[in-house]
Structure 1
Amino acid sequence: MTHKLLIIEDEPTLAKLLSYNLAQEGYDVQVAEHGGEGLKMALQHHYDLILLDIMLPGMNGFEVLEKLRRNGNQTPVIVLTARNAEEEIVQGLKHGADDYITKPFGVAELLARVGAVLRRAVADGDTLEREDDEQVIRIGELKVYPEKYEVILHGESIALRPKEFEVLLYLIKRKGAVITRDELMNVVWGFDYIGGQRTVDVHVSSLRKKLEMNQQSVQIESIRGVGYKLLDKSKKDS
């Protein structure tokens, strides 16, 4: 199956470079030069992945991403940011981006990140649902409602503090990937947070106690000296 990709990028040279290299790999690629145009295309047509620049004329990448998610569009998004633009990366992930690439980047990195996000999307395709017109993420007997900050496990509500919920939601979005403590700190608490990594460890420890009473749904695994990885235990091959 040929994956269909949408590039939303206003810089013609970069748009052509992205389009050419992705087409060479067999992807079906379309390009939008403005945020509003890209949003319209993304809402009207099906795409397997969107490459979204942050600095766009008219409607910037954050606005495009926010409107996509608000309309229930869960197409995977990789944001394109300037090098060392940590705030852009954090904001993009908070708005619902699945990954990021910093400019300038090499073709090998581009193709690797696109392939990784597409593989995750295929693996997670059965977890995103809508229930009573609300988005719900389901993993086994675990149900997470992003809009309500609510978690249900085996039919019972699990009380999570706001930051615990945000940590869980991010780990679920990056399910199976190793997430460093620094990444969790930046995404959940913000790049200007002055607390230490111990804050992350305390919240993850609390999450484990609340969610891993029955490990048939999810398990948060520690990667020594690095961070954490969320495993989907509802699938035999996890």
Structure 2
Amino acid sequence: MRVLVIEDETRLAQTIRRGLELEGFVVQLAHTGTDGLWHATEDSFDVILLDIMLPGLSGYEVLRRLRERDVLTPVLMLTAKDGDYEQADALDLGADDYLTKPFSFVVLIARVRALLRRRAPQRPALLKVGDLELDPARRSVRRGARAITLTPREFGLLEFLMRHREIALTKPEILRNVWDAHYDGPENVVEVYVGYLRKKIDTPFGRTSIETLRGVGYRLVEDAGSGDRQVDDESGSAPG
């Protein structure tokens, strides 16, 4: 799940980012209204956390322009102002929820998850590929009747692969959606985490559901047979 945090208080923004990442979210930060509007319109997010008092463009103006452009991403407004008129203005402009500073991080996470559940009709409640099942709300994974424990990064990678089942995904695409847009480390971190996933969701069950597409990236399928199957990216068939 990807969250855009538009907040000009740097320390608060970093605190929110660390907390969300510990919960398994991929977070993009923006510190001005102008930058936030650009990210929100040029990229896709599951939720936007939007401060009202921002340099460049106010949160109200960012929200107004987003809704004018038919960007329907759920927006949770953050503000130091605690007043009925401010809340009413935000909701009238198209905000989905409103949180007054200072706030409990537990409450923030609960509000974010509530927005995601509200959006649930656009997404399946459970993601299933064969007998592999992932529950985004409960953050649980099962293969058949057996529960599988994953780290937040492994869970995020598996969720991204399952939401794009049967689709070839490049390493840059995976990094951008499971790590973040500004990750500048080595791409082979994807290989490392794919290896971790295979050891948990495939190897103990005699499965190979994550295909390596030579020269392309990876693809999750129902079951590719035994062994670490590599597929030729041009012919679409396994090399002989």
Give the C-alpha shift of residue 122 in structure 1.
1.7
Farther off after superposition, 34-43 or 80-89: 80-89
Counterpart in the other structure of 1:57: 55
> Aligned partners of 1:68, 1:84: CA distance in 2, in Å?
24
Instruction: State the distance in 2 between where 1:17 and 1:89 align.
Output: 24
Map of 1:121 onto structure 2: 119
Partner deviation per Cα, 1:133-153 (whole Å, 9 max, x = no partner) = xxxxxxxxxxxxxxxxxxxxx
> In the TM superposition, what are the counterparts of 1:7-46 in structure 2 within 5 Å?
7-46=5-44
> Structure 2 CA distance, aligned partners of 1:63 and 1:50?
14
> How far apart in 2 are the matches of 1:57 and 1:14?
16
Which 4+ runs in 1 deviate beyond 3 A?
A: none
1:235 counterpart residue number? none
What is the identity, as a one-letter code, of the residue corresponding to 1:84? D
Q: Which amino acid aligns with 1:109?
A: V
Do residues 89 (structure 1) and 78 (structure 2) align? no
Say if 2:89 is the partner of 1:103.
no
Backbone CA RMSD of aligned residues? 1.5
How far off is 1:85 after superposition? 2.7
In 1, Cα distance between equivalents of 2:81 and 2:71: 28
Instruction: Report SS of the residue matched to 1:59.
Output: coil
Map of 1:146-161 to 2, 5 A cutoff?
none
Taking only the aligned residue pairs, the percentage that are identical comes to 47
Please say which of residues 14-23 and 117-126 is displaced more in the overlay: 117-126
2:35 alignment partner, SS class: helix
Q: Which has the larger radius of gyration?
A: 2
Q: Is 1:81–1:89's contact at 8 Å kept on the other side of the alignment?
A: no
1:69 is matched with: 67
Tell me how far 1:123 sits from its aligned partner: 2.6
How far apart, in 2, do the equivalents of 1:83 and 1:44 lie? 29
Unaligned runs of 5+ in 1: 127-238
Shift of 1:87: 1.8
Deviations 1:53-105 (A, max 9, x none): 00001100000000000001100000002252322211000000000111000
Give, as a single letter, the amino acid of the residue that structure 1 aligns with 2:110.
A
User: Which residue identity is paired with 1:46?
Assistant: S
Q: TM-score scaled to structure 2, two decimals? A: 0.50
* Unpaired runs of at least 5, structure 2: 125-240
**CA displacement at 1:38 relative to structure 2:** 0.4
SS of 1:79's partner is strand
Match of residue 5 from structure 1: 3
Cα 1:91–1:44 shift into 2, 3 Å: same
Paired residue type of 1:118: L
Aligned amino acid, residue 32 of structure 1: A
Q: How far does residue 113 in structure 1 lie from its aligned partner after superposition?
A: 0.3
Matched with 1:47 is: 45
Query: 1 CA distance for matches of 2:5 and 2:20?
Result: 10
Q: CA deviation at 1:30?
A: 0.5
